[in-house]
Every structure is written in structure tokens, then in C-alpha cells.
Structure 1
Amino acid sequence: MADSAGVPPEESSQPPGGKEEQGGGGGGSLTDAQRDVLERCLYTLKHAKNDSHTLAALLVISRLCPANQLDKATLRRIFEAVGLNFPARLLMTAVRGGESSDLAPNDLLSLGTALLAAFSTDTDMASHPQLLNTIPFLLGIIANQPVFNEQNSSAEKQSKAGETMTRPENKAQPGDVAHPASKSAEETEASQQQGDSVSTGDSFSTPQETLFPSPLDEAMAADCYQILSVVCALPRGSDLLLNRGAVHFLCQAVAKNETFSHEKGLALIGCILSGKTKERAWSRYPEELLTLLVGLSNDFCKATEQTRLDMCTQLVHFLPPAGAAVESEPLKGVVGRLWGVLRPMMQSKLTPKQIRPVLILSACLLDLYGWDLVGPPKFCCLLVNRACVEVRMGLEEPPGNELSLELQHTLTGCYRIMEAAIEQACSVGVTQTDASPQSSVSVLSLQQSRQVLGVLEEAFSAVVYHLQQVDPSRFGDPFVFATFRALCSWLAEETSCLKEEVTGLLPLLVGYSRSHMQSDGLEQSFSDWMAELSVNEERTRWTGKEALRYLLPALCHLSAEEAPRKVLLSLDTPSLLVDFLSQCWTSLKGKSSSVAARDPSMETACSALLNFAVTEPERVRKDPCFRTLETLLSEALPVLVHKPRLLVLAANFCTLGLMIGRLKSAPSGSVEAGQRRFFSTALRFLRGTLDPSSSPGPVSLSGNWKESWDEAAELWRLGLQALGGCVRSQPWIISLVREEGWLKHTLNMLGECSALPDQQTQEALEEALCAMAAQCPLCKQEIGDVMRGGKGALSSMRNLKTLVGTK
């Protein structure tokens, strides 16, 4: 630049350091001499005619008045005088090189990053689009990879535009820092918010062989990391950094193994991976993050015991989300090595504070590969025992004692271990599979399973005790949800233990589920809370929108037992289940057959409602929610029969509707259109199960039913029995049976085939035919005519023979 010092303009009558300039701030802990220099420099900044004056004043400020000695008011005055466009132009000039400047590129970079670091201490300035547009430059500095592309050049245009707007009198001078044009910062920011990522492959070729110093200048790096850390802490900071390629450049910086970047870079990557951006980061940079994880796991294995304890918390953030790269052999190797180190740590004497990060890391490793790589069964039992002890110690506190956030996170990790232990201890016939040399598939013996179930029962007794103290005002607490979910996983497998305690807790469990289903606001807080812990599950996300999903298996078991069923009825649980099915159907019905995914929760809700329909006929007849359910089923079944992937759900809906229909009396007037539509669809659905084309041999299953027969067979049989009940209670259905061709089709099939799939199927068909023969003389005659032929599977139905008089 042409000028090397700033000179106050001669035309101003106000002397530097005067009262007008001093009113903006005192400069923090500066001496009188420093304050005097500061005021003169601020005066120069405010009245500078070109960038040379501005640069000179800033150089003086940076040398005599360090940023950490300046208060916010003073920084704000500097910002108002200079703006963010000037440091952005410094970075661009340094990166481009070849411009007329009295300062070397590294000096320009040093000053530019120092200015941005000082400005970033103010939250408003840290979130300013002009500062955010400098992120790619800062990333390039710490990775020693200068970046220049269309997105980056927006910083230059913003610098020029902003300078013109804030200081219209400032005309371009021959010595000004160059500032070419591109998109505006607002346009760039909008594109970044839409998910655009920086192209890490485009770099600007500079005349210099090496633009940035090697090893990295720590003062400059400190400024860069400070800015990036402040940005990361913004509400959308992790997204902003991820969309600008931060993971790529930070991994490059860490790979250089320079102490400063290793420490600061790892911390920053950990922040990006500790929130909701983790999954997107792993999807974009799987190889780089896996390489980083491999290095961290090697460091973990070589570290001292105390260092390992400290690294457990760090490693949690760098593990991939559950389900990511499950078949990756390098990742399996990492997990196997980590378990190899954790086993002796778990077996040693650790204080409660020391054991907590070990348990959380163990929970996260279980999320990735389950028990396959954990180790021998004896260690699995130890791990479960340590988790259960921690839960008992943490939850068996006097009422009113608040759990710290650290303890909540530890207990949530322990819950995950306990859930995995339930699956392991309750599994039957688990087979040993091939394992890598570093892994061992853990299969518990019967005695070990009993021991695990024993310690789990003690821990869940503490869980029940804790939930008994929960007030409805805490239903939005994420930790309460984690505790609720853990208990539900236990009740899904085990309802015989703690029966009285669980029955007494049903009002809270049902009330909690109802409150979550009616409030969408609880989902986000829990999602964010769990993202920080990085404990999740591939099959089901821990969201708070539908807590009822986790309780449904327990409700299915409990609704079959008299005492808890009475409590559930008093809590209007059937209405809750109907509302749940209605909401799920609303979101499902608009999807095409290829997109609609099976929802086991809907099927489980149907099973619980079936229990009520079987055991509580009077409640079904009188409760208006079952009338609502009938309307839903009459709408849904005609749609479901055309979605082959949802056959099991269709079987549930069909059977549930028939079970309710058998409890109704014949209508006094004409049949409702919805009812007729449901029964017509149900008859066609039941008729399409068996394929008579293989006659005269045994009947075979139709194509759509073959894959689902194991799950749908019992529903199909129950549906046939319920159809017989419907014929008895509502005789009008007999004419529909004949119109839809169900009777003719069934008799032809039974007369031609030699056998049915099993005895239970034959009994179900026989019961339905007996009901029709008893209620309708025409049906009785038609059945008798076929049976007198004396051939096929029909001839072996003795009760039917007796009824129609052919025996």
C-alpha cells in the first residue's frame, strides 16, 4: 500500500482524542497512554479516505492495545468504523496474492483473523453474514489449503458493497486492497441454509509455493479456531460449519498432527458431531471421519489409564450414528479394539465418577453392533451388573432430590445397556455366528440369563420408584422420557415381575403417553437432548412425539390380564388406542403401495383392542370409541387390501372389525353403507388366502399370504370364527356371503383339495360354515349337496356333517 501510517484529515476541527470521540467507551483496562493512542486510531478509522489509513490505524491498535484488553463498547466502535468487509478483503488479498501491498500475505492474514476474532466476541457480529462468509478462508488457513471458489468470492463483493454503503464518501484509491465481485452475502447465506456445501476440491492456485506458514502460526490459528468455535456455538452453528466443508478441512488439519490443531480441531469436530448434524456429517465424509476415528481409537489403546478415562467422553462424539456403515470392517475393528480396552477398565476398581464415562461409551458401542463384539458372557454379565448398580444408586434417592445433568446422561446410557440385556437374556435359541478374531459373540447360559434378569428386576424396581415420584408438570423432561422408555422395554418382555407396582403405575404411564400424543412440542427437546448424548438406536428413534409406541407391547400383555385391564379401562385406554390408530392411518393412507412402510405399532395397538373386544363385550357395545373405530376400519380396509406390503395390518383390521361386528345386533333399518363396504371387503380378503389351483392335492397359500402366513395365520383363523359370530348376530350378512361368492368359492376349494395347511385352519373354516348352515336353509342345502359328494377336505369336517345331516 502507498501509505504506511494513518493521518487525521486536516479539514476536521475536532482534535483527536476529543470529547466527541471519547464518549463511545473507555477501552477497558488500558492505561492512559494506550487510551490516548486508541482514541487517535479510532478517529483515523472513522475518517480514513482509503484502506491504507484504515490498515495503519488497525496495526497500531493491534500492537499497542490487544483485543483482550478492549471492552465490548470499544470493539463495537472499531466495528462501526471498519465493518466486517475490511478484514474479509484482507483475507482475500492475501489468498489471491500478486496485489500491490506493503504487507506480506501472512501479515494480512494475521491482521484479518485478529480483527475477526475480536469482532466475534460479540454474538451479533459473530452471526453477521459477512463474518460467516469468511469461514472457508479460515478453514483453509488451519488446513493449509487455500480455498477459492464462487462461494468464497461473495465475501469480496460483500466487502465492496458494504464499504460503499457504510462509507459512501470512500472512493477507490490506487492503494486499496483488491475486492473482485460475486454474489451478495445474503444470497450466499440463503444458499448455505438450504444445505449447499463448499466444494472442497476447488482451490485457488496462488503464485506462492506455500501461502500459509508451516508449521501453522499458533496465534493466527488461535484466532481462526476462536471464530469457528463461536460460530459453532450459534443456534445453527453446526449446520453452518458443516455446509461450508468444515469437517473436511478440520480432518485435514488434525491429520497434520500439529499439537495445536490436534487439540483445537478435535474439539471443534466433536462439537459438530455432538448434535443433530452428526448423521449428515457421516453421510458426507464417511472415509475421513472413519480415518479420524481409527486414529483416536489407536491413541485410546496406547494411552494411560487416566487418559483413557478422559478420552471415553471424547470418543462418544466421534462414533458414527447407529446403522451407519454397519458392514464396515475397519469400523468393526475399531469397536472390537475399544471393547478390548474397556473390559479391563470395567473390571478394575473405579469410582462412581470414573465409571460413568465408561458406561456411556459402552452403551454407544452396543448401539453399533449389539453384543456381537462385547466379549465373553461373563463380561456381559459384569457390564449389565455395573449399569444396574448405577441405576439403583442414581434413582433410589429421597423424593425431591434433583439429578444432575451428568447423572441423567449416565443413567440414560445405562438404560440402553439394560435394554440390550433384556433382548439378550430373553432371547431363545441364539446361535453362534462367525466372528472376527477380535470379536466374540456373547451367548448367555440359562443360569447367566437368570442372573441378568435378577439384577434387571432390581434396577427396574428403582425405575418404577422414580417414576412414582414424577409429577405431570415434568412430562416434558427428556430424562423422564428416557426412564419411561426403559421401563416399557422391560414390560414388553416381562410383566409377571413387579405386577402390583406396575399396575399401580399404569395411571402415570397412560397419562404420560396421552400427553405426548397430544403435544408435538415435546419431541424436539428430547431429540436435541439425546443428540448431545449420541445414544440412539437404528430401528427406532428416541422421539417424544408418540411415547405410546413404546408402551403398546406392555398394553398388549396387560390388557389380557383381568386386574390391570380393569385399571386400563378406567383410564379410557381403548379411546387412546383408537386415537393412535386414527393418527397413524391419516399419515399412511396417502402413501402408495411402494412407499407405505409397515408400522408394527399399529398392529400391536390392534392386538390390545382385540383383547378388549374378546374380554369386555359390554364395554365394546357401549363405548363410543369403538363406533369411531368401526368407521375407521370401514374406510381403511378397502384401501389396505390393495397394499400387499401391509397384509398383516390388513389382517388385523379385518379381524378387529369382525370381532366388534359379532357383538352388535341386527340393524332395525337399512344397513349403513360403511358397514356393508367393510364386510364385503372382509369376505374378499378372507377368500383370497387359499389357492385351490393345486387341487386335487393339498391346498396352497396364495402368493401374498405365503411370506406373512406365520404372522397372519392366527388372525385369519380368528377372523373366520368372528365371521361365524357375525352371521349369528346379524343375519343380513348371510346374503352378502352369497353375493360375494365366499361360500361357493370355499365349498369348491374344500371339495377339490385333499387337505388344508393345518388342523387349526380346518377347524376355523368348519366353524364359519356351521354358523352359516345353522342360520340359512339355503346355505345348509348348498353345503349338504357338496358334502354328499364325499370327496376333498370337506368330507373330514364331522361337526358340519352332523349339522347338515349327511353323516
Structure 2
Amino acid sequence: MMALAMAEGTFIVSSESDSSGEHTGSEEGEGAPLAIDGLSAAQREVLERCLHTLTHAKNDSHTLAALVLITRLCPAGQLDSATLRRIFEAVGLSLPARLLVTAVRGSDASGLPPEELLSLGTALLAALSTDPDMAAHPQLLTTIPLLLGLLADGPKWSPQKQAKHQARQGMEPDQPSQAEDEQSSQSTNTTKEPVQDTAGFKAPSQDATSPTGSEEGTAENGAPTSHSTVKLDEALTTDCYQVLITVCALPRGPDQLLARGAVPALCRALEQKQTLSHEKGLPLLGALLSGKTKEKAWSKHPAELLSLLARVSQDFCQATGLTQLDMCALVPQFLPSPGGTPKDTDLTPTMVSLWAALRPMLQAKLTPGQLGPVLVLSACLLDLCGWEPVGPPKFCCLLVNRACVEVRMGLEEPPDTELSPQLQQTLTACYRIMEAAMEQACSSQGVAQQSDAQPQTAITGLSLQQSRQVLRVLEEAFSAVIYHLQQVDPSRYGDPFIFATFRSLCAWLAEETSCLKEEVTALLPFLMGYARSHLQGESQDEGLSNWMSEMSVGDCSQGGAWTGKDAVRYLLPALCHLSAEDAPRKVLLTLDTPALLVTFLTQGWGDLRGKGGAALTRDPSMETACSALLNFTVTEPEQVRKDPCFRSLESLLSEALPVLLHKPRLLVLAANLCTLGLMIGRLKPAPKAPVEADQRRFFSAALRFLRGALDSSSGPGPVRVSPAWEEWWEEVGELWRLGLQALGGCVKAQPWIITLVREEGWLNHTLAMLGSCSTLPDPHTQGALEEVLCAVALQCPFCRQEISVLLKSSAKGALGSMGSLRKSLTTN
């Protein structure tokens, strides 16, 4: 609560707080502090009368008078929570909202000047907002635009001025009378003596807000200025910010503030250097922009936030010494999310200036506590704009080296050493710097292998010698990462920092397959156990996501939030590499890795299927899981025959592939599933009983899928890749050819498939295409088609006859150039 006192017939609010943050009464009414349990019977009786009067007050004057008596009897800081709650319920939010509405209209009918109405209203709101239920109440939320307008434009704020700002931003104007209308319909105090006039809004009178009575003020040196120099009273401003800060701390508070225009208003307050805008407004903006509302805020207010970022960056660059070091923790809050930068936005000048300020700091001798925030800011800038604005190659190498040294020092501690939250944040930033350096350092060609689509990922001008140096320090750092993960007990699988460490190592293994082979193979039991734990939902994903957000960590590779289920996703590229090598593959088989991959695919397919008619997006991780399973299928045929997980996989493929035939955007996934299923099918013996329905369904879909790759409809001449496949041919061409070869193996192992080859029209379509075209796209395609045709001809006399007839009539076409096919027909 606030303290009220009578002064010359008007009510005044004191917003002073005691050391605990509780509002206390005025000196005149406080007396000795009394706990409510220490009140005498007479005092309790008076308190009850006051509460009764407060509850049944017939007008606002009675309400205020009752509040005065209560605070004189027992200051707010000494009231227990139950009594405070009764007071809150009696006063409600109607009175302070009406006080604000009347003040911003500038009506003379209230009997009080606008500044006192504002003081009363904001102090009441600040007091009432200390109760979480009150802070989340719709009536209090309707006052937020009023408070924001005051903070942004000072005493001269008006709804008309706010509407102009909103129109300039392309926003729908708020309804200024909404607060008053809600109070009128909900308040039990039907008579509002201090705020009687309920006509429309008016701007506060000039006499009440400006000593000059004009729009122009006077600077300290006496020169006229274009804006009023009248600022809000600091106590009033504190109360306004108190309400906003309390609302922001609520679960849905940031969204509530964002929806009510908090970002542009607070940016305007900073621009106009309003009272406490830097001390309280900037941290509040930081809170809004560093949480889950960051991307939404940037999408709604890009111009204001770009201007704010430029201002914060300028302050950072102009600061010196310890002040600049302290600001390293501030700047990341105001950076946009990687991938969430507004279109047509050039952040390069700001990034260049920030790096120019960071370079001397990274080259200086700093304590670990000072270096940590510098590395965190560096990681955030790398996430956002890559290496291009960082600086010369020598400095880039220095940055990577400092990050690697920090990782080694932080992780090569005895197993029982507990890492502080600050060190965890520093190490997480170092991981991101290391990841940013991996692609370039692991490339033997350096800049020559840079992709035009990602020009910022490489360290420009890095020599081969420097690449080797970076690779060496990265190897040393990841040796420390492996050592640390070897010490992790399963009870710590839910620790978010362990997830960050695990992810970093997976990023390294995705790029580098030749270093630390023995150490990585020895770590496989941990990696698989950790991934399986997260896939099975044994970790708290929400806590992980929140921690990553607090650490200012963005997931650039996946473009989404951190979740525990991503553990397998990050490990998949490494599993592809490791399953292709004999020694680690044997270890992976002992760890039941194929079953884990099948479970991952099953869950991924369930997620895709659950989207129904929604737009389906490609999930590369499912394709990578197929590649790893394909490695096992090719190299471990006996495992495929006896492991029950592959039977489960066949059921999944028979369900998914027919659906994917009608999803052009998922063609790469369909190609992976089709090829994987055919490679498994060639290892299966011919069924003794009637063919199962799911097997028939899969092979029918596979034949239809394979038939759609080539298009000869344009007439004689070379066969072209069909338009639906052309965009993806570079990725699926090899899979398609492998699938054809596997189909030939399936025909040999399971002759019943010949019937489907004829029924589904695959043979007729292929023969017609080969008979009408002159050439195929490439020799590999011709070889794959020839191989499967030879297998079909060998197993089916009718097919052999059809092929022979067409071959004789198409001696000069693509079919006629298939020497192995001609030879096999002659032999048989």
C-alpha cells in the first residue's frame, strides 16, 4: 500500500519505500512500527471499522479518507497479507484507473490538478500491483498504455499524441477510454466525486503541465528547445515502472506488455531521455527482448529496435574501462535472434563497430570473470552475422584460441568440481565460437570451398597453416570435452550444461572424422545412453529450453528452440560417419543403435502425420537417420535379418511411403525410405506363406515412386529428369539409382515381386521410355536400369520376351546400347 496524508485539503501520495521495498506511511502518520498481531483490542476494532468503511465507501473521497485512517493506524509495511488483501479487494483497480483517465483528459471537474491525480493513481497502482493476482487483472492491464504514454512523453502525453505514434508505426490505435469504460461498468462506487467528468479525453492543460504554458521549453543554458523540458516527477516515474516491471515478471507479462505497445513507448522514452528511462526503461526493454518475446518484438517493431541497438552499440563503443566490460553483458539482450533479423536490414555497420570495440578487449589481459562476458558477446555476434565483420584472420584465430583455452581450463578439472553458473555461460559461449570455426578449420581447401549461399560462415583469408593451427587447438579443446563427458553420471543427464557440451561435441564429430577416433569410440556408450535417455523423455525439456534462453543460446542449425528430443538429432551426422567404419560400428551394434534410430524415425513420422493438412516442412534429421540405417543394412546383413527392430522399420516404411508419394516437398525423405526398404527387402528370403499386405503395399509404392524420376514425354531425344524431381535431383539421384539396384536384388530374392513389376506398369513404362529416347541422363543411370532389367528378364520368361522384342526394334536407342542386357537375353 501507499501512505496518504491530508495537506491543505488535498490528498497526496507518498511513494517512499522502506529498505525491504514495502511502501510505508508518511512520517506524520506512521508512529512506532506495530505488527498487526501487536494491535490492542481497541485498535483492532478501529481497523475493522476502517475496513468496513473502505468496503462500503460511497464515493472516492470516502475511499481515500479510509485509506488515510488505516495507514495512520497501521502502516502498510506492518499489515499482514490477509489485511492487505482485504484492502486491495475494497479499493480495487477502478479508482486508480479513473484517476489516471481524469488526469490525462485534463478536466477541471476533478477538483485536483492533473499532476496530483497522476501521483495518486500511479502510487495506488504500484501498491496494488504487488499482489500477483492484481497485477494480472484485466483492469490493471488496461492502464498500461496510459503509463507507457506518460513514461514516453512525460506530462504532455495525451491519447492524441499516442494515436499519432501508433499511426506512424502502422499499429491500430488503442482505445483511450477503455480504462474508464471498464471502471464505469465494474466499479461499485457509482459516485466519483474527484473524477466526476466522464466525457471524452482531453490533453492536460498547459498550465498544469508546463511552467511556460507552451510546447517549447527552456534548456539549462536558457536557450529555447523544440520539446518541453518538463519531466515526470521521479517518484511518479518509479511507480509507473514498478507496475510495468511487476507485470513483466508474470508468466504472460512480456506478451501483455508487447501487445500494449511497450517496446515503441520505452524506445521513445530513451530517445527523449525521459526520467529514469536509462535506469529503469532500458533494463525493462532488455527483459522484453531477451526472453521468448524477442522474435515477436523484432517482427513488430524492427525500426525502433534497430535504432535502439545502434544507440546501445554506440554507448558500448564510447565507454571505457570497467564500464565497457560491464556493458558486455547488456548488449546481447538487444541483438536480434539469428535468422530472425528483419528483411532488408543491414546490420554490418553496427557489427563492425562492435567488433572494433571488442578486439582490444580480447587482446588484453583480463581476469576470467572479465573475459567471460566478452566471449559471450563475441559468440552472440558470430551467431548473428558470421565471421565477415569480425576482423583480420589473425584476430579470428586469436578469438578461437581464447575460447579453446577457456574450455580446456574449465573442463579439465577433477571430476567432482562443480562449475559455477557464470563459468557454464562462458563455456557455452566458447562452444559456439568453436562451432563457428569448425567448418573452415576442417576444410583442407579453406576459402576455396566456401559456399556462395553462406558467404559469412568462413574466415576470410585464412591460410592453410592458420587452418591447421585452428584445427589443432580445436582438437585439444574437444579432447577436454570428451574427458568431461566421460565423468558424467546418468543422474546428470537432465543438466542443461551437459546438453550444451554434448551438442558441441556432436557438431565437431559431424565435421571431423579423423581426429580422436579411439577417444570417441570409447565415449560411444555415454553418447548413445544420453541420446536414448532424452529420446525416451527422461529429461525436463522445459528447463533445458529456459536455460538455453537465459544463456543467450540460439539454435542456428535447426532454426528452433532447444529441446531434449534434439539430442539424437545432433548425434545423427556423427552416427552416419561412425556406422561406416568397422570398429565404431561394432560398438554401436552392441549399444542397440539401429533400434534407437528406428524409434527416432517412428516418432518423426508420427509428428509429420499429426500435422494432417498443415504445410509439411522437410526434416533433414529423418533423412540422416535413414542414411545411418542404410550403412548398417549394407555392412551388417545378418544383423538386419535377425534384429526385430528392422521388422518394425519395414512396417513403418509400408505405412509412410504410400503417403509420401503425394507430398512433393518431402521427396528426399521418400527417396530415403524407398531405398532403405528395398535394400532391406533384398536380404529377405521369399515368403512361404501368402505375401503380407504391408509388404505388398510397400513394394507397390516403391515401384510407383521409382517410375516417376525420368520423363520422356517430350518425344524422341535424351531422357530428362521429371520436373517434380529436378529440384532435388542432386540429393536423390544417387538414392534412386541405388534403389533400382536394390530392386534387382529384391526380384532375385523374392520372385513374387515380378507380378507387381508388371501390374504396377513399371516394366511397360520403362521399356516404352527406353525405346523412344536416344540417351539417358548419365552412364550411372543407364547402368542401374540395365541391372534391374537383367534381373527381371532372368526371373520372368514373359518379361524376357517383351524386352527381346523391343530390343530388336530399338537397336539405335537407349535400350539398344545396353550391352549387358542384350548379352543376358542371348545367354538365356
* Alpha-carbon RMSD: 3.5
In the alignment, the residues of structure 1 paired with residue 315 and residue 454 of structure 2 have an alpha-carbon distance, to the nearest angstrom, of 25
Question: Could you tell me which of 273, 287, 305 is aligned with 1:289?
Answer: 305
Identify if the C-alpha distance between structure 1 residues 419 and 740 changes in structure 2 by more than 3 Å, giving closer, same or farther: same
CA contact (8 A) 2:158 2:204 kept: no
Q: Report the counterpart of residue 221 of structure 1 in structure 2.
A: 237
Q: Report the counterpart of residue 191 of structure 2 in structure 1.
A: 172
- 1:799: how far off? 2.9
In the alignment, the residues of structure 1 paired with residue 454 and residue 482 of structure 2 have an alpha-carbon distance, to the nearest angstrom, of 38
Identify if the C-alpha distance between structure 1 residues 153 and 594 changes in structure 2 by more than 3 Å, giving closer, same or farther: closer
Give matches, 1:49-448, under 5 Å: 49-56=58-65, 58=67, 78-79=87-88, 82-144=91-153, 145-147=157-159, 153-156=177-180, 159=183, 163-164=187-188, 172=191, 175-178=193-196, 204-209=201-206, 214-258=230-274, 260-325=276-341, 327-427=343-443, 428=445, 429-430=448-449, 442-448=460-466
In the alignment, the residues of structure 2 paired with residue 210 and residue 124 of structure 1 have an alpha-carbon distance, to the nearest angstrom, of 38
- 1:488: how far off? 1.0
Identify if the C-alpha distance between structure 1 residues 700 and 433 changes in structure 2 by more than 3 Å, giving closer, same or farther: closer
In the alignment, the residues of structure 1 paired with residue 538 and residue 412 of structure 2 have an alpha-carbon distance, to the nearest angstrom, of 31
CA contact (8 A) 1:666 1:731 kept: yes
Identify if the C-alpha distance between structure 1 residues 32 and 561 changes in structure 2 by more than 3 Å, giving closer, same or farther: same
CA contact (8 A) 1:276 1:528 kept: no
- 1:576: how far off? 1.6
Q: Deviation string for 1:767-802 (max 9, x for gaps)?
A: 212222332333334333444453223333333333
Give matches, 1:465-476, under 5 Å: 465-476=483-494
In the alignment, the residues of structure 2 paired with residue 28 and residue 390 of structure 1 have an alpha-carbon distance, to the nearest angstrom, of 54
In the alignment, the residues of structure 1 paired with residue 72 and residue 114 of structure 2 have an alpha-carbon distance, to the nearest angstrom, of 18
Q: Report the counterpart of residue 217 of structure 2 in structure 1.
A: none
CA contact (8 A) 1:5 1:56 kept: no
In the alignment, the residues of structure 1 paired with residue 484 and residue 714 of structure 2 have an alpha-carbon distance, to the nearest angstrom, of 60
Q: Deviation string for 1:603-623 (max 9, x for gaps)?
A: 111111111111111121122
Q: Report the counterpart of residue 676 of structure 2 in structure 1.
A: 656
Identify if the C-alpha distance between structure 1 residues 756 and 82 changes in structure 2 by more than 3 Å, giving closer, same or farther: closer
- 1:256: how far off? 1.0
- 1:433: how far off? 7.7
Give the letter for the 1:674 counterpart.
Answer: D
Q: Report the counterpart of residue 522 of structure 2 in structure 1.
A: 504
Q: Percent identity?
A: 65
Residue 714, structure 1, aligned to residue 734, structure 2: yes
Residue 524, structure 1, aligned to residue 542, structure 2: yes
- 1:264: how far off? 1.0
CA contact (8 A) 1:517 1:547 kept: yes
Residue 551, structure 1, aligned to residue 571, structure 2: yes
Give the letter for the 2:524 counterpart.
Answer: L
Give the letter for the 2:265 counterpart.
Answer: F
State the aligned residue count: 760
Identify if the C-alpha distance between structure 1 residues 529 and 439 changes in structure 2 by more than 3 Å, giving closer, same or farther: closer
Give matches, 1:549-698, under 5 Å: 549-589=569-609, 595-693=615-713, 696-698=716-718
Identify if the C-alpha distance between structure 1 residues 698 and 210 changes in structure 2 by more than 3 Å, giving closer, same or farther: farther
In the alignment, the residues of structure 2 paired with residue 463 and residue 232 of structure 1 have an alpha-carbon distance, to the nearest angstrom, of 38
Question: Could you tell me which of 788, 791, 802 is aligned with 1:771?
Answer: 791
In the alignment, the residues of structure 2 paired with residue 551 and residue 643 of structure 1 have an alpha-carbon distance, to the nearest angstrom, of 27
Q: Report the counterpart of residue 534 of structure 1 in structure 2.
A: 552
- 1:291: how far off? 0.9
Q: Report the counterpart of residue 189 of structure 1 in structure 2.
A: none
Identify if the C-alpha distance between structure 1 residues 158 and 349 changes in structure 2 by more than 3 Å, giving closer, same or farther: same
- 1:602: how far off? 1.0
In the alignment, the residues of structure 2 paired with residue 67 and residue 723 of structure 1 have an alpha-carbon distance, to the nearest angstrom, of 83
Identify if the C-alpha distance between structure 1 residues 328 and 263 changes in structure 2 by more than 3 Å, giving closer, same or farther: farther
Give the letter for the 2:252 counterpart.
Answer: R
In the alignment, the residues of structure 1 paired with residue 527 and residue 187 of structure 2 have an alpha-carbon distance, to the nearest angstrom, of 61
- 1:290: how far off? 1.0
Q: Report the counterpart of residue 821 of structure 2 in structure 1.
A: 800
Q: Deviation string for 1:219-241 (max 9, x for gaps)?
A: 11111112221222222222222
**Which segments of 5 or more consecutive residues in structure 2 lack a partner in the other structure?**
1-5, 11-22, 161-172, 211-229
Residue 791, structure 1, aligned to residue 815, structure 2: no
Match of 1:589, SS?
A: helix
In the alignment, the residues of structure 1 paired with residue 655 and residue 751 of structure 2 have an alpha-carbon distance, to the nearest angstrom, of 23
CA contact (8 A) 1:326 1:368 kept: no
Match of 2:622, SS?
A: helix
In the alignment, the residues of structure 1 paired with residue 789 and residue 454 of structure 2 have an alpha-carbon distance, to the nearest angstrom, of 54
- 1:728: how far off? 1.0
Match of 2:110, SS?
A: coil
Give the letter for the 1:386 counterpart.
Answer: R
In the alignment, the residues of structure 2 paired with residue 652 and residue 446 of structure 1 have an alpha-carbon distance, to the nearest angstrom, of 36
CA contact (8 A) 1:41 1:57 kept: no
Larger CA deviation: 130-139 vs 490-499 = 130-139
Q: Deviation string for 1:14-59 (max 9, x for gaps)?
A: xxxxxxxxxxx99899864687999989965752553224335656
**Which segments of 5 or more consecutive residues in structure 1 lack a partner in the other structure?**
8-24, 165-169, 182-202
Match of 1:100, SS?
A: helix
Question: Could you tell me which of 470, 480, 493 is aligned with 2:498?
Answer: 480
Q: Report the counterpart of residue 170 of structure 2 in structure 1.
A: none
Match of 1:670, SS?
A: coil
In the alignment, the residues of structure 2 paired with residue 504 and residue 404 of structure 1 have an alpha-carbon distance, to the nearest angstrom, of 28
- 1:327: how far off? 4.7
Q: TM-score, normalised by structure 1?
A: 0.86
Match of 2:329, SS?
A: helix
Give the letter for the 1:445 counterpart.
Answer: S
CA contact (8 A) 2:152 2:274 kept: no
Q: Report the counterpart of residue 722 of structure 2 in structure 1.
A: 702
CA contact (8 A) 1:96 1:206 kept: yes
Give the letter for the 1:172 counterpart.
Answer: T
Q: Deviation string for 1:377-414 (max 9, x for gaps)?
A: 22211111111111111111211222111221221111
In the alignment, the residues of structure 2 paired with residue 297 and residue 171 of structure 1 have an alpha-carbon distance, to the nearest angstrom, of 52
In the alignment, the residues of structure 1 paired with residue 738 and residue 608 of structure 2 have an alpha-carbon distance, to the nearest angstrom, of 25
In the alignment, the residues of structure 2 paired with residue 235 and residue 270 of structure 1 have an alpha-carbon distance, to the nearest angstrom, of 16
Give the letter for the 1:208 counterpart.
Answer: S
In the alignment, the residues of structure 1 paired with residue 505 and residue 454 of structure 2 have an alpha-carbon distance, to the nearest angstrom, of 32
Identify if the C-alpha distance between structure 1 residues 127 and 646 changes in structure 2 by more than 3 Å, giving closer, same or farther: closer
Match of 2:537, SS?
A: coil
Identify if the C-alpha distance between structure 1 residues 130 and 644 changes in structure 2 by more than 3 Å, giving closer, same or farther: closer
In the alignment, the residues of structure 1 paired with residue 499 and residue 825 of structure 2 have an alpha-carbon distance, to the nearest angstrom, of 59
Give the letter for the 2:668 counterpart.
Answer: V
In the alignment, the residues of structure 1 paired with residue 75 and residue 268 of structure 2 have an alpha-carbon distance, to the nearest angstrom, of 30
CA contact (8 A) 2:231 2:275 kept: no
Give the letter for the 1:276 counterpart.
Answer: K
CA contact (8 A) 1:603 1:649 kept: yes
Q: Deviation string for 1:255-280 (max 9, x for gaps)?
A: 11246212211011001111101111
